[in-house]
Chain A
Amino acid sequence: MKKQEYIQSGILESYLLGIVSEEERREVEQQASIDKDIAEALKVLEIDITDFYTKNAVPPPPIIRETIALNAQHAEIVKSAHYQQKYSSGQQATQDEQPRYLEVEVNDTHIKVHKYWRPAFIAVFILSKVFLISALYLYFKADSLTKENERLKQEIKLK
């Protein structure tokens, strides 16, 4: 069959509408992949068919959108729960089943803490200084008392 006859045979419209057999579908896809004119004709027909159904479009009732949104949320929750259950049981989840998380590598050396930690750190710092000074004071006092004690012992011995 000549190319132009093929384009005008109606098989392309039927393919786009999904009313051809599996064998014909494969044939059209193969022809479109090797022939630019057929691929171009398909693009034009896609626009025609979309225009046709856009003109015949009917706005659906708003309740349908709400139901679809609720179902989508529910499906997401179920999927997430299913994944968590699998993950916690130590099974390796397949790539398809994994939720769409974006893995971020953190190179930042800083951490963020609650603001109440600030006075707590200041208090710990002040207390550490107080204990250090107290420790030094007691050390030197104990040292001087030891020396005094030694001196008194020698005085007693001499007497």
Chain B
Amino acid sequence: MSEFESSNLQLSRGNKSPVSTNGLSLYDEYGSIAYGIILQIVPQNQIAQEVMIDLFDSLTVNPCVENKVSIAVCIIRKAREKALIYKEKLEVGASTVQQFSTESAIEQSKIIFDLSFRQGKTAETIADYLDIPKARVYKAISEYFKTFRHS
């Protein structure tokens, strides 16, 4: 296997090695993941497409070569950040906080995850709003992924 093929394989596996790559190759690899995330935050197709173009244009200039997390996780973070910026501009993030106390534990985790990841609320804001400790917010996010893992 050539060095080039090897580096591409590492990239597709989400390896942390600082593979120099452009926005287009990242798009081919992770475009669907990013679009799924963006649509969850900004459900309007037209705006979601604008966010996608903005995201991968910025990745061309500043690709995910930081060594802390995998490329996939880096793109998930950046897709969320971009989508939240557009969401804020559109002011579509009207408060959609639901009645917390009456929901089941799974539903509570889902609501907290929605508030933090999809609506961009900080852990402190969610904790204040729902009148729960900040640690409970993080725990709920963990539980949300655990539910997914066991489903």
A-side interface residues toward B, CB under 8 Å?
A: 8-14, 16-21, 29, 45-50, 52-54, 56-61, 63-65, 67-69, 71-72, 75
Contacts and interface: CB of A to CB of B under 8 A. Distances in A.
Nearest to B45: A61
A8 B142 contact: yes
Interface stretch (B1-9, B48-56, B88-96, B99-107): B48-56
Contacts of B122: 19, 21
A11 B73 CA distance: 15
A13 B35 contact: no
B135 A9 contact: yes
B27 A57 contact: no
Nearest to A45: B145
A68 B138 contact: no
Contacts of B149: 48
Given A13-B145, A17-B117, A58-B39, A75 B53 contact: no
Nearest to B59: A68
B68 A29 contact: yes
Nearest to A100: B20
A20 B70 CA distance: 17
A46 B57 contact: no
